[in-house]
Structure 1
Amino acid sequence: MDFDLDSLSADTRNLLYELGLHNDSHLLNVKSSDFNSSDKKDLLDLICKQKHKYEENITGLGDGKYCNASSDFIMCWPPTPVNTTTYLKCFSEFLGYKYDDTENASRECLWNGTWSKTDYSFCKDITENSTSEDVITTTTIYFVGYTLSLVALSIAIGIFIYFKDLRCLRNTIHTNLMFAYILVYALWILTLILERSFENDMVACVFLVTLLHYFHLTTFFWMFVEGLYLYILVVETLTRENFKLRIYITVGWGLPLVFIFIWAITKGFIETDAWLYTNCPWMQPHTVDWVFQGPITIVLALNSFFLIAIMWVLITKLRSANTLETQQYMKAAKALLVLKPLLGVTYVITIAGPTTGPTANVFAYARAVLLSLQGFTVALFYCFLNTEVQNTLKHHFQNWRTNKSLGPRRMRTGSRSKDWSPRSRTESIRLTEWTVVSADEAAGIHLLNTPEMCNGKKCNGNLVE
């Protein structure tokens, strides 16, 4: 689209006049940011030409081949002869960051009269050197934490899948939560590695960032499913039969897909000023991100409500009697204190924090530790410290040692060990003496073997409808 000076609005003509009074290339970018993106390039080129309209005649460029005055969206470059490199002083401030204006940016006019890509490599953020070490440290913490979480989650999922006697509704929910964490951690690492290559591949940028946000959102919704499951088990006991696995799967995987789809469509239609960023622009924060950040906030609030309601019911039962059951509730109540970070409440303290000053680095380190080890914490309390899992592993290990010592004659007996249940009549008496209480047993051990828990399948040796 070609512009004519007479067709420009009064605001644009005022901008041209102001640019004629100020030799400030950064002013060009800031003030032109209010115009529509479809016309921005042509408009900025026209403004740039207007700014340098007298230079062609003065320098005699009109007699030879040269590159026209042009804007690269950040700086206005003057008309330049072919095969010549032009230098402009770096801007002192851009997008709220201060830069070293003693250095220069450069742009070459090619042999065919077209401009090359601007080289801003010498325009350094003056805070970059002081913060680069902190950024490297924080990134290292994330990598170490995510790697540890990935290993722990993979082992935990393998345990739940391999041993048949651990297959029931509550462990299926745990497995889905762990799998969501594995996906988001793996995608985070992949996105960070490929971030520098996103500059010329917008499709890969959009695809990976959308997947990253989706799986990140699923972790919150599966945390919500964990809280909802315990709430129904302890508080709304009459409605537990109406909640089957398919409902939990719909909530955990389906609802996040709806929100991310809306976010992606909206993000695609909103001007994101992609030209401002060296890497993937979809990774930059935007107000449209509240399309999925809003549901996260609601999920955290609901999980806090579930936690309070569950604690109230347990405390009430503890006051009413002092039986073996109430002692188990006491241990379950203690486990709920561990359950808080598993339900996502810990994320509340990482939503906001200082961005400048010495406390900002401390906060960044703490956030990196908490978020990167979230998956490890889930695997630890839902699997490794789970009494049922521990007894299952002990039994299979003892059975393996017995079969190994007795030889092939006992292999037939040992082949049925996968269906062994640590919750048989004799074992259930011994299991009441817990040494470690896991978070998923917070609802009370006597509730865990009910048909509602097993979703109509064999669970822990109890065959239900």
Structure 2
Amino acid sequence: MGSVLEDVMSKRAEYQENCTKSLAATYFTRTGIYCNGTFDLFVCWPHSSPGNVSVPCPIYLPWINEGGSENVYRECTPTGTWRKIKNSTDVWRDQSECFNPHYFRKQEEDVLPLSALRIISIIGYSLSFFSLLLAVFILAVLRKLHCTRNYIHINLFVSFILRAAAIILKEIILHVMYTNLPSDETGWNGYSNSMISVICKATQVLMHYFVGGNYFWLLVEGVFLNTLLFTAVLTKRRLLKKYLFIGWGTPVLFVVPWTVTKILYENQGCWSNKKQWIWWIIKGPITLSVAIVFYIFIKIIILLLSKLQADQGKFTDYRCSLAKATLVLIPLLGIHEVVFTFIPDESVEGQTRYIRNFINLTMSSFQGLIVAILYCFANGEVQAELKKRWQLFIFANRLDMDDCFQGTRFKYLWKCSRKRPAHGFSQSGHCEKASGPSNVQLLQVTVRTRGQIQHCRPTGVARYARGSLSSSEGEMTMGETMEEILEESEF
């Protein structure tokens, strides 16, 4: 409905401009008694002689065809003034032939289901936004998980976050634009050039950039998996700069030309997609990226199938394992976009179109949430590291409290409640500030002082300490081999 309003406003402005030029051109040809021509905010009235005056209904109305038989009527009095409504200062006008109350009936019927779709998408993008923020925080804080694979995951999560934020912001701006419409002629004249219209166009540019970036980070995930499984390259860190350019740089190459083309050839309203050749400036590269990702997906599935069939001793039900791996790869690579990219919204009508849009919006809006769950919250590597950090935190704090309470007078207990960057243990039993040892050093200290603290039970400390010291922050983390990828797909 927003695009219809933009069309009406654009055509009405052109109609009013032509009316002004026409009245100015015929101003000096008037003779005798006549009524002055005017544009009465609805239709253009020419300079007219006394009598009944009729003009065609304005062509900017979407249901009026140029050259139609519908007219609007006025009456010019013998005194050269337009007839007014009885007991009023308003000019009389009969515009009944210009009305079509059933023109928007179908759109009115679609308001409720389309509003439901919009609410579902906003809920999905909101949940994805907050879950991905938490996932990015976890992957960024846990330094032991830093590797090229997780760097790519972090950038993908950020692209989902920016996409969700841009789409929610666009929905808010469109809601403000089309629910706070002007009520007078001055407001309508400045409506199309208002600041909110400029903000709406800027939001469209940002949204298309972030959506494009999201698609190309999905492509990067596919390219990285393809490199991991089909090449003999041992380290992938040197490829990270190229991945960053593909993910964040490629969208600039088509969003900027699209913006310039819009300004030059279709600078109306909030830049809805009307001319398909302009829209293909953005749609073309995204369609190409989706096709490449789908090709990589098919290659990976074929490889997984051959690997599972060869190792049926290890994977007794290889079909189930293949199905799990496939389901995990679908949101990571955005495979569902293949269906909706090659079956555009314009190619279906009626109930089928509503079902298509429901599935598309639901999967697209909740995709970020699913990816955050699969590749962060339900990931065994992340869960193990979080569990280790939590147990180390609990154990370190238990030792600290035991040491503070043991042999300490009641009046010194307030010192132990203070937060300190690190702790040491003195011979007297009081809490003293240390010079800032690391977590591993702290564990080594606590292990050495085990015999000095009676109430401490450091069960499993040595194991956690050895795990912290032996874990690598290099490239080869979980998921680097085919078997481990399959294990990761099973959470």
Instruction: Tell whether the structures are fold-level matches, with TM greater than 0.5.
Output: yes
What percent of counterpart residues are identical? 25
Tell me how far apart the structure 2 counterparts of residues 340 and 50 of structure 1 sit (CA, whole Å).
65
1:236 to 216, 231, 238: 231
Q: Secondary structure at the match of 1:191?
A: helix
1:194 to 157, 173, 181: 173
Tell me how far apart the structure 1 counterparts of residues 206 and 441 of structure 2 sit (CA, whole Å).
40
Find the counterpart in structure 1 of residue 432 from structure 2: none
Q: Secondary structure at the match of 2:110?
A: helix
Q: Could you tell me which runs of 5 or more consecutive residues in structure 2 were left unpaired when the two chains were aligned.
A: 1-6, 49-53, 73-81, 83-97, 178-190, 404-421, 425-436, 444-463, 473-477, 487-491
User: What count of residue pairs does the alignment treat as equivalent?
Assistant: 370
Cα deviation, residue 52, structure 1: 9.6
Q: Structure 1 residues 57, 395: closer, same or farther in 2, change over 3 A?
A: farther
Tell me how far apart the structure 1 counterparts of residues 61 and 442 of structure 2 sit (CA, whole Å).
66
Query: What's the TM-score once normalised by structure 2's chain length?
Result: 0.62
Cα deviation, residue 365, structure 1: 2.1
Tell me how far apart the structure 2 counterparts of residues 422 and 226 of structure 1 sit (CA, whole Å).
33
Tell me how far apart the structure 2 counterparts of residues 421 and 374 of structure 1 sit (CA, whole Å).
37
Tell me how far apart the structure 2 counterparts of residues 425 and 327 of structure 1 sit (CA, whole Å).
37
Find the counterpart in structure 1 of residue 398 from structure 2: 405
Q: Check if 1:210 corresponds to 2:241.
A: no
Deviations 1:123-174 (A, max 9, x none): 7722232121112111110111111111111110010011111111111101
Find the counterpart in structure 1 of residue 296 from structure 2: 306
Query: What's the TM-score once normalised by structure 1's chain length?
Result: 0.65
Tell me how far apart the structure 2 counterparts of residues 319 and 417 of structure 1 sit (CA, whole Å).
47
Find the counterpart in structure 1 of residue 144 from structure 2: 165
Q: Structure 1 residues 96, 385: closer, same or farther in 2, change over 3 A?
A: farther
Tell me how far apart the structure 2 counterparts of residues 227 and 340 of structure 1 sit (CA, whole Å).
11
Find the counterpart in structure 1 of residue 18 from structure 2: 44
Tell me how far apart the structure 1 counterparts of residues 160 and 202 of structure 2 sit (CA, whole Å).
19
Find the counterpart in structure 1 of residue 117 from structure 2: 138
Q: Secondary structure at the match of 2:105?
A: coil
Q: Structure 1 residues 77, 304: closer, same or farther in 2, change over 3 A?
A: same
Contact 1:400 1:414 (C-alpha < 8 Å) held by counterparts: no
Q: Check if 1:383 corresponds to 2:376.
A: yes
2:104 to 125, 129, 138: 125
Q: Structure 1 residues 321, 282: closer, same or farther in 2, change over 3 A?
A: closer
Tell me how far apart the structure 2 counterparts of residues 298 and 418 of structure 1 sit (CA, whole Å).
53
Find the counterpart in structure 2 of residue 344 from structure 1: 334
Tell me how far apart the structure 1 counterparts of residues 321 and 369 of structure 2 sit (CA, whole Å).
22
Find the counterpart in structure 1 of residue 62 from structure 2: 94
336-345 or 255-264, which moves further after superposition? 336-345
Q: Could you tell me which runs of 5 or more consecutive residues in structure 1 were left unpaired when the two chains were aligned.
A: 1-28, 34-38, 110-119, 429-439, 449-465
Q: Structure 1 residues 241, 364: closer, same or farther in 2, change over 3 A?
A: closer
Equivalent residues in 2 for 1:38-437, closer than 5 Å: 44-45=18-19, 60-62=34-36, 67=38, 69=39, 76-79=43-46, 94=62, 125-195=104-174, 196-197=176-177, 199=192, 200-201=194-195, 202-238=197-233, 243-270=238-265, 272=266, 274=268, 279-282=269-272, 286-321=276-311, 331=321, 334-351=324-341, 352-353=344-345, 355-408=348-401, 415-416=439-440
Contact 1:181 1:375 (C-alpha < 8 Å) held by counterparts: yes
Deviations 1:107-128 (A, max 9, x none): xx9xxxxxxxxxx999772223
Contact 2:228 2:480 (C-alpha < 8 Å) held by counterparts: no
* CA RMSD between the two structures: 4.9
Q: Please tell me the residue identity of whatever aligns with 1:94.
A: P
Q: Structure 1 residues 330, 232: closer, same or farther in 2, change over 3 A?
A: farther
Cα deviation, residue 426, structure 1: 9.2
Tell me how far apart the structure 2 counterparts of residues 76 and 90 of structure 1 sit (CA, whole Å).
6
Q: Secondary structure at the match of 2:173?
A: helix
Q: Please tell me the residue identity of whatever aligns with 2:365.
A: S
Cα deviation, residue 327, structure 1: 10
Tell me how far apart the structure 2 counterparts of residues 402 and 182 of structure 1 sit (CA, whole Å).
35
Contact 1:141 1:369 (C-alpha < 8 Å) held by counterparts: yes
Contact 1:160 1:167 (C-alpha < 8 Å) held by counterparts: yes
Cα deviation, residue 374, structure 1: 1.1
Cα deviation, residue 192, structure 1: 1.4
Tell me how far apart the structure 2 counterparts of residues 242 and 414 of structure 1 sit (CA, whole Å).
27
Deviations 1:273-301 (A, max 9, x none): 72xxxx41346564211112111111111
Contact 1:180 1:219 (C-alpha < 8 Å) held by counterparts: yes
Q: Please tell me the residue identity of whatever aligns with 2:340.
A: T
